[in-house]
Amino acid sequence: MGVFGSSLLGFLVAIAILVAVHEFGHYLVARWCGVRVLRFSIGFGPVLLRWMGKRSVFRGSEFVLSALPLGGYVRMLDSRDAELASELVRTPEAAFDRQTLWKRSLIVAAGPLANFLLAFVLYSGALAMPDRDLAPVVATPAANTPAYAAGVLGGMRILRVDGREVAHWGDIRWLLLARVFDDTLEVDVDDGGIERSFALQRSPSSSLTPEAIGARLAGWGLSFDQPAQVGTVKAGGPAARAGLETGDRVLSVDGRAVRQWSELTRAIQAAPEVALNFVIERGGTRESVVVTPRADTLAGQRIGRIDIAAAAPDTLAPGSVVNRSRSVGEALEAGALRTFDATVLTVRVLWGMVSGEISLRQVSGPIAMAEGAGATLQQGAVAFTLFLAIVSISLGVLNLLPVPMLDGGQLLYHFFEAIKGAPLSDTAQAVGQRVGIGFVIALTALALYNDILRILS
């Protein structure tokens, strides 16, 4: 299957699962509260398939699959809907708007809550799978980084980040991402059998563009202590032209000993278009290779690149990687923590966009989602599951925004109703709906613009 096919399939599967779970949350709680649900739809527009529920909680509801797979809805009996006058005569007590305020609020909130529950289930399932990653041994921090200033040394084994225990670098990468907005970080390490704690401090960032976020993740000075062993070599690149091969172990660059991949990377980046003498180990023998990095520009700086990638963990010595398996209880705990972290991060990202701390270029739409779905689908079930979890959380948080047309807007109406003692007037709700429609259209247009701009650039 090609890239386009994987993207389309991944997008359709992701949308179907996320929308079905969201709307099913509304559906189940509505039925539990005694509200009659007339239709449960995945998608909008012309109906492609339809069937009537005949058993248990599904009895009496029509289930449809519609042509436009960009959402869904649950249509409930409501006395404000003129088209349902005949249905209302039969079961007036089953109308949504005739339920108590707490029941109506619970029905509205059930959709986003279902997305958070789905994320917890997906994270728990993915994290229950055995995984393998680099051992949490830190490389020598670069000068002028918080880790270097705090006294972290290469070879120390990281035990905890902000009090969270870590097993390998996969855990560390996630925790650094979850704390991308933070300017302080607590790191506990094992230094030759002695446990030490370090407080890392960095300067705050005024604006987080996509490039700045990447720089902040790397800016702590914490990187993995991976051997300087070549994994893949890009055909036609400087390394390939010089004769470097997969499996080569770089021992020194221009007479300076190299032990870690990060040291090799820094030596290459510091010498754009400068011939470097590599001493490598290949098949048990030492050889010399002259490599001239090409010049690239990154964040406004001129750096060298030779088009190689580090060796995959599976090819490294046993002591360089960690294999981990979680029990069911551990997986559930890890799933809950990951769901909490991702929710907080999503909220902070949205707030950052409102406050101007984060560039609106971060807003992405269906094209970016399709690309992410396709890419993770090709990587395997675990990667796709993790992708679904983070998108489910994003959908849940977005729907709780206090904007009419979204679930959060309806809950805002209910909040004012609780204070006022009566529902808002039809005029006020109509104005709110127009504002909500304008917000949704503007957000959709921005997302599509960013998607198209990213593709064109």
Residue 258 and residue 228 in contact, taking contact as beta carbons nearer than 8 Å: yes
First to last CA, the chain: 26
Check whether residue 396 and residue 457 sit in a common domain: yes
- φ, ψ (nearest 5 deg) of residue 254: 55, 45
Alpha-carbon torsion, ordered 296, 300, 302, 308, to 10 deg: -40
Q: What's the rounded Cα separation, in Å, for the pair 186 and 53?
A: 54
* Burial (0-12, 13-18, 19+ Cβ within 10 Å), 159: middle
pLDDT at res. 317: 65
Q: Which helix (H) or strand (E) holds 351?
A: helix 328-355
Tell me how far apart the alpha carbons of residues 411 and 76 are, in angstroms, rounded to a whole number: 17
pLDDT score for 219: 82
Q: Which of 23, 83, 211, 287 is catalytic?
A: 23
Task: Identify the domain boundary among 219, 254, 269.
Answer: 219
Would 172 be classed as within a structural domain?
A: yes
Residues 207 and 241 in one domain: no
Residue 138: give the domain boundaries.
133-219
237 and 270 in a single domain? The answer is yes
Residue 20, both tokens:
């079905």
In order of 48, 72, 295, 386, the CA distances from 68 in angstroms are 10, 9, 47, 25
Q: Are residues 302 and 376 in the same domain?
A: no
Paired strand residues for 208: 358
Q: Are residues 117 and 240 in the same domain?
A: no
124, 246: one domain: no
Strands 276-282, 256-257: parallel, antiparallel or unpaired by DSSP? unpaired
Mean pLDDT of successive 10-residue stretches along the chain, which has 457 residues: 67 87 95 92 90 87 88 88 70 86 95 96 95 87 89 92 93 91 92 94 70 74 83 92 92 89 88 94 92 86 90 71 91 96 91 77 74 80 91 93 90 92 84 84 79 71
Which one of 219, 248, 269 terminates a domain?
Answer: 219
- The CATH number assigned to the domain holding 307 equals 2.30.42.10
**Structure tokens belonging to residue 360:** 């609106």
**Among the three residues 185, 219, 253, which one is the final residue of a domain in this structure?**
219
Assess contact for 259 and 227: CB atoms under 8 A: yes
For 179, which DSSP code? T
Shared domain check, 137 and 124 = no
**179 shares a domain with 119:** no
d(CA 457, CA 342): 29
Bridge-based pairing state of the strands 157-161 and 184-191 = antiparallel
Same domain, 367 and 450: yes
Radius of gyration of the chain (CA): 27
Which residues have C-beta within 8 Å of that of residue 7, sequence separation ≥ 6?
370, 371, 373, 374, 375
Contact by Cβ (8 Å): 399, 108: no
Residue 235 belongs to a domain = yes
**pLDDT value of residue 210:** 60
Q: What is the pTM of this model?
A: 0.81
Tokens 């108590």 correspond to 100
pLDDT at 209: 63
pLDDT (0 to 100) of residue 90? 73
Asked if residue 321 belongs to a domain, the reply is: no
Count of the separate structural domains present in the chain: 3
330 catalytic per annotation: no
Q: What are the φ and ψ backbone dihedral angles of 430, each rounded to 5 degrees?
A: -65, -40
Residues 387 and 437 occupy one common structural domain: yes
Same-domain pairing of 244 and 256: yes
Instruction: Give the pLDDT score at 205.
Output: 67
